Chains A and B, each alone.
Chain A
Amino acid sequence: METSVEMVGSVAVVAVSGSIDALTAPELAAAINQQIEEGHTNLVADLAGVEYTSSAGLRVLLGAVKETRSRGGDLRLAGIRPDVKKVLDLSGFTSILKHYPDRGSAVDSYGG
């Protein structure tokens, strides 16, 4: 798994690629937490490069959502691949998280 961060206006876009699972999840948690600590609470997780996410990976995403929301921000998902979408649907994530087809529309959803 690899992560990279890009600021688009006031929105921090965390692009993730590879596999988010029990072994890589701590790394993703650290990357997201760093953004939150720096005061960026409007986050987009760009999952276009993610081919798999396990239950441990999902719990990290949820932890990040809760943290940003309790600080008045949000974590929104972008570019979910069909296989990953299936797991997110089953796990209830698509009904409690806002998700968008690509990073552009996810960033725009914060209203510029």
Chain B
Amino acid sequence: MNSKKVSIVIGSGGIKCAAAIGLVKVLEAEGIPIDLVVGCSGGSMYAALIAAGVTAEAMQERTLFLWTSEIMKDYTSNLKATQDGSLRFNERSGLVDDSVMNERLHAAFDEYRFEGLARPLRLVATDLMRGERVVLEKGSLFDAVRASLAIPLIFPPWEVNGQLLVDGAAVDPLPVDVAIQEGAEVIIAMGFMLSNRGRMRSMTAVQQQLNNIYMNNLLKATYAFYNLAHHAEIFPILPDFEEPLGMFDTDKLPDIIARGEAAARAELPRIVRLLEA
């Protein structure tokens, strides 16, 4: 077809990141090859599966297996325990016992390492102590996905190569820069704005709203820069979600995937036109 390198970037967005499955469906159907996959936070899970060459259908199944409310084990009791002082908090803590999540992620990713994936993969996390972006591209896929997914306060950070890593969304919610750095030409960037809360009924809700404000502004500011800095074309794909989605609304999965597919389809003619030019 042509020699332009196509990279896809899947940003952070919790369960909404499953919209990436819809994107892959569209690209596969059109025979558009993917040369590089970049992911951040929830998007890391899908980026990793796409890089491993897992089919769209299998990705959907794995989402249902990985992403259930059981991974929030002990959240409420730990939250209470921080209040009466019986739970001490430090930089390695989280409000959730991560054993269930780790078990699921091990089952999904232990068979892979970065080396030997069907497509090159880069995942983004944050160095908690230094506040810097860390790009993971070697070794255990489990470690990288786990680190990139470590929502601050909720899940304990994950140590990789001596660095304490958390959710990549704190530095780079839609890491287009990693694709630029790798020499990508055409970049398809699927990002998610977090939904703002209408009402805030608790301290955690206020804290969450504050984080959402930061991350939405960070997404815009980083994208604005990448957009000017890149020499070739970036296609932003921002699926629309009319209602805010809960973290574990897996029953909405088919709808999320359909929205991702629709958003990708809307952009497709332009992508094809550029690739054929």
Does B120 sit at the interface, judged by CB under 8 A?
Answer: no
Q: Which A residues touch B227, using CB under 8 A?
A: 55, 58-59, 91-92
By DSSP majority rule, is chain B's interface helix, strand, loop, or mixed? Answer: helix
In the complex, the answer to whether A22 meets B236 with C-beta atoms within 8 Å is no
Interface residues on A, range: 10 to 19
By DSSP majority rule, is chain A's interface helix, strand, loop, or mixed? Answer: helix
Q: Which A residues touch B238, using CB under 8 A?
A: 86, 90
Surface stretch bound by A, among B14-22, B97-105, B151-159, B216-224: B216-224
CA distance A104 to B238 in the complex (A): 32
What 3 A-B pairs come out closest when comparing CB atoms?
Answer: A92-B224, A55-B234, A91-B227
Does A89 sit at the interface, judged by CB under 8 A?
Answer: yes
**A90-B220 contact given A21-B274, A62-B228, CB 8 Å threshold:** yes
| 12 A-B residue pairings within 8 Å (CB atoms) | A19-B270, A22-B232, A22-B233, A23-B274, A54-B235, A55-B234, A56-B233, A58-B227, A58-B228, A92-B225, A92-B227, A93-B224
Does A100 sit at the interface, judged by CB under 8 A?
Answer: no
Which residue of chain A has its CB nearest to the CB of B174? A90
Number of interchain pairs (Cβ within 8 Å): 49
In the complex, the answer to whether B236 meets A21 with C-beta atoms within 8 Å is no
Q: Which B residues touch A90, using CB under 8 A?
A: 219-220, 223-224, 236, 238
Q: Please give the residue numbers on chain B whose beta carbons come within 8 Å of chain A beta carbons, in ascending order.
A: 219-221, 223-225, 227-228, 230, 232-236, 238, 270, 273-274, 277
Q: Which A residues touch B228, using CB under 8 A?
A: 58-59, 62, 91
CA distance A21 to B273 in the complex (A): 10
